[in-house]
Structure 1
């Protein structure tokens, strides 16, 4: 995948949705919902002006606490159309949160200009990848 850094002074925070229940389009578990609240506390002062999530309950619920805290909407994106997501993020006025899945997070980090992290397993939850404007990637545990 070709990298395309975001404009200067922006960071893109990429995270996999948190712990989910069972089912076709599951919601977050109580643990996942608690992690979503922790994520909101971590990012509330990071200049996030746009939030994107796949149109699944677990992704939207991961983003919802931060969106509510900042008075923003969660914008659904199509994971099959990465160029559209890249264009949307690049057009934001500040930093962005992007919620993906175990099979998309590494590619998203790379798409936003960072070094591609190792693949995520189905049990990997709780790491936020901050892709800085210069392409530096910082992995931050959600606590």
Structure 2
């Protein structure tokens, strides 16, 4: 009887720890930018997309927001960060391997805003799957990498915003 009680108590303490190890990483490329500028800000459509992203992710329990230092990525992250009252932390797109290791080690739900040439790469590093490149004209991709004891799952979503 003691053995059964001890086993049940052990299971009660182990189960919450396993549940806590499950987390999701959300990756998105910055929204539409103004053309022909160095370090451009978002275009009107980009601002709408950033606001839509904040609404889509409102209930995801994201604990941290990361962005590169560029204006367009910071502006894409800002509506969500403000909505959730989170600071935007900056990361270097030149050090994706180290950044991926940090994200996996933290074991928290996070949003990462990057670029067309780095977001698919980061998704591949985090999910350990092949991820297709995206073009300069693609802005709607939203990658979710779910990490749990049973492995990693990569899901590609598409934001439902279209601009003229």
Asked whether the equivalents of residues 49 and 93 of structure 1 are also in contact (C-alpha less than 8 Å), the reply is: no
> Deviations for 1:21-68, whole angstroms, at most 9, x for unmatched residues?
020100000100000000000111111101111100000111100000
Deviation at 1:93, TM superposition (A): 5.5
More helix, by proportion: 2
Gaps of 5+ in 2: 1-19
Whole-angstrom distance in 2 between the partners of 1:102 and 1:86: 17
Size of the aligned set, in residue pairs, is 137
Q: Superposition pairs for residues 93-112 of structure 1, below 5 Å? A: 94-112=108-126
Q: Which has the larger radius of gyration?
A: 2
* 1:12 corresponding residue in structure 2: 25
Asked whether the equivalents of residues 104 and 126 of structure 2 are also in contact (C-alpha less than 8 Å), the reply is: no
Q: Superposition pairs for residues 1-143 of structure 1, below 5 Å? A: 8-22=21-35, 23-92=37-106, 94-133=108-147, 134-143=151-160
Asked whether the equivalents of residues 15 and 105 of structure 1 are also in contact (C-alpha less than 8 Å), the reply is: yes
Q: For the aligned residues, what is the CA RMSD? A: 1.6
Q: TM-score by structure 2 length?
A: 0.78
Q: Runs of 4 or more off by more than 6 Å in structure 1? A: none
Q: 1:121 to 1:108 in 2, by over 3 A?
A: same
Gaps of 5+ in 1: 1-6
Deviation at 1:91, TM superposition (A): 4.6
